Amino acid sequence: MKKTKRLRLSQKIMLGFALLGLLICVCTGVTGYFQYRDNLQEIYNSTAYDIAETAVSYFGKEELANYAALALGYDGGTVGEEEIAAVHASERYLALSAQLDALREAMGANDVFVFCLDLEVLSSYDGDRTDWEPLLYLFDSYTDPEYSYVLGDKSSFNPDYIAELELIGTTGERVDSLLISKGDYGYNTSAILPVRLADGSLVMFAVEIPMRTLQSALLGYLLGVVLISAAIVVAIMFIYYFLFKEMFVRPVERMAAAANDFVLGGREGSLSDSIVSLTVRSHDEMGLLCEALKQMDHDIRDYIANLSAVTAEKERIGAELNVATQIQASMLPCIFPAFPERREFDIYAAMDPAKEVGGDFYDFFMVDQTHLAVVMADVSGKGVPAALFMVIGKTLIKDHTLPGRDLGEVFSEVNRLLCEANSEGLFITAFEGVLDLKTGELCYVNAGHEMPFVGRAGGFEAQKIRPGFVLAGMEGVRYRAGNLTLQPGDKLFQYTDGVTEATDAGNNLYGMERLSEALNAHASESPQQICAAVRADIDAFVKDAPQFDDITMLCLEYKQPCEEKES
């Protein structure tokens, strides 16, 4: 048998701590990552709004209104290109553009620009338009004409911010949400600061600053958290490992080794003293477990001693039961042919007990030279008590069956005697018949037993005999005898309920119908052959199902009248 590789308890504890440490590191890193990222984004966004407010301070509201009017007039066709070009070349416009550019460069921003917003164009975006330009520029921080927008230029905007721009354009309030986008050079944050003019129109100052250090800062933070957490976890893990090893693992290993020695010794027939000598100096569950092992050792030793005694006693009882089985078998007529010198009849009987000894019994004997008595009985219960009660019943019935005595009186007297000494509350169902070998008359009495089958020329048929009360069931019961006549060649078949109540694996009963069919299928055969055929049919029916009751049967064939005179 291949030996299974097992992890030691200390290895399992170490592995558990490692997994726990890894989980702590991951949870700490992820939680810190998102919290640190959000804080950095808020800082960047706040800086962007500070830059926008600084840019606002460069302008007067009236000045802004004039520039907005020029841009809107140029877009609406009321302002010409020459007028716009003159503004572009004016000292004031150039100075303001230079200030915005200096602010951008000083604060490390990507862009600082001023625009008006066309809400109608903004809301018309459908995801595909290439001519979507809702922004009308007033100023741009770039002084290089190749990269900057100037007064009157139009531009698109990040479509992700449509909802925020519409909200700003309709309320004139700055939005609280962060405007974060990812461009060619990494993540950017944008601030849009609206300025309400005297005529109620809005001019917006926008600042876009790169979050260049965000990703590197986040990665550095995450790496630092993970390394510090891992170092702390590893340190704690080793401390706890040694503590656990001393407090739990070593005691458990010692107890496991002692238990293993005990088991191996038991297999080899000599119990080890490893558990008895085991000592665990601990006042917690380890100490309790050690005491429980010692108690188990003591209980197992007691159990083995008791088991040895019980096994010896069981073997002794088994030997005695085997003797009892042989004695019981010898008490029943078991030599066939039973009366080889008698030509008037042929008889055969058999009993197969469910246990070592049974409660069924049969008997047949000559009452005198011309009368044959047959008895079939079943004691309630099984085993030794039923067998002992059977001996008493059999003896009483045989002793009280005398020539010329009424069978009803015989059973009445037997019932009285059995009731006097029946402390166990057992009872007997019994059938007795006395056959007159000269006339074929069968006088019988039935004490709650099964109906006998009588085989005549037309086959076997159950005799509807009215049963009396069982023997030993109640004092003072009076029994009446009946009679029927057998013709030469007729047969009598009697049995116990173990025949008809034999069950198969599906709990189906053998039954009277199957018994009748088996008897009629072998009606012309001898009593021994009939009994053997019925038993074979029962075995074929029950198959491998266990036998729960004694199976007993008797068959008598009346062959010819007796020619001898009764003595």
Query: Distance between CA atoms of 455 and 443, rounded to whole angstroms?
Result: 17
Rg (CA), the chain: 57
- How many percent of the chain have pLDDT more than 70? 84
* Contact assessment for residue 410 and residue 445, using Cβ atoms and an 8 Å cutoff: yes
What's the token pair of residue 554?
């008797």
Which region among 47-51, 312-316, 391-395, 483-487 has the lowest average model confidence (pLDDT)?
A: 312-316
Q: How confident is the model at residue 81 (pLDDT cuts 50, 70, 90)?
A: confident
- Terminal Cα distance for the chain, rounded: 81
Minimal CA–CA distance to 24: which of 308, 315, 229? Answer: 229
Tell whether the model's pLDDT for residue 388 goes beyond 70: yes
Amino acid at 315: E
The owner of tokens 């299974």 is 4
pLDDT of residue 25: 72
Q: Give the relative orientation of helices 91-107 and 9-56 as an angle to the nearest 10 degrees.
A: 160
Orientation of helix 383-400 relative to helix 285-331, angle to 10°: 20
Tokens of 114: 């001023």
Contact 342, 323 (CB under 8 A): no
Write down how long the chain is.
567
CATH 3.30.450 assigned to domain 58-210? The reply is yes
Q: Does residue 91 have a pLDDT over 70?
A: yes
Each domain of the chain, given as residue ranges in start order, spans 58-210, 333-558
List all residues 6 or more positions away from 192 whose beta carbon is below 8 Å from its beta carbon: 52, 161, 164, 165, 168, 174, 175, 179, 204, 205, 206
What does the mean pLDDT of the chain come to?
Answer: 82
Average pLDDT over residues 229-234: 76
pLDDT at residue 191 in the model: 87
User: According to the model, what pLDDT value does residue 71 have?
Assistant: 87
For the segment 474-486, the average pLDDT, to the nearest whole number, is 93
* pLDDT given at position 465: 87
Contact 437, 562 (CB under 8 A): yes
Q: At what angle do helices 9-56 and 212-244 cross, to 10 degrees?
A: 160
Which regions of 102-236 does DSSP assign to beta strands (E)? Answer: 111-117, 135-140, 154-155, 179-183, 186-196, 202-210
Per-residue pLDDT tens digits for 243-271: 766 666 677 777 777 777 777 766 666 66
C-beta separation of 531 from 348 below 8 A:
yes
Q: Which residue has the higher pLDDT, 120 or 564?
A: 120
Average pLDDT of the segment spanning 516-535? 95
Q: Residue 16's pLDDT is what? A: 73
Place of tokens 């440490």: 21
Query: In the predicted model, is pLDDT for residue 410 greater than 90?
Result: yes
Overall fold of domain 333-558: Phosphatase 2c; domain 1 (3.60.40)
The residue ranking higher by pLDDT, 238 or 505, is 505
Q: Return d(Cα 70, Cα 85) in angstroms, integer.
A: 11
Q: How confident is the model at residue 536 (pLDDT cuts 50, 70, 90)?
A: very high
pLDDT greater at residue 499 or residue 285? 499
Q: What is the mean pLDDT of residues 328-349?
A: 86
Whether the pLDDT of residue 535 is over 90: the answer is yes
Token match 């609280």: residue? Answer: 176
Q: What is the pTM of this model?
A: 0.51
Which of 165, 155, 163, 168 is CA-nearest to residue 196? 168
Round to whole Å and give the CA distance between 36 and 31.
Answer: 9
| Backbone phi and psi for residue 435, each to the nearest 5 degrees, phi listed first | -95, 125
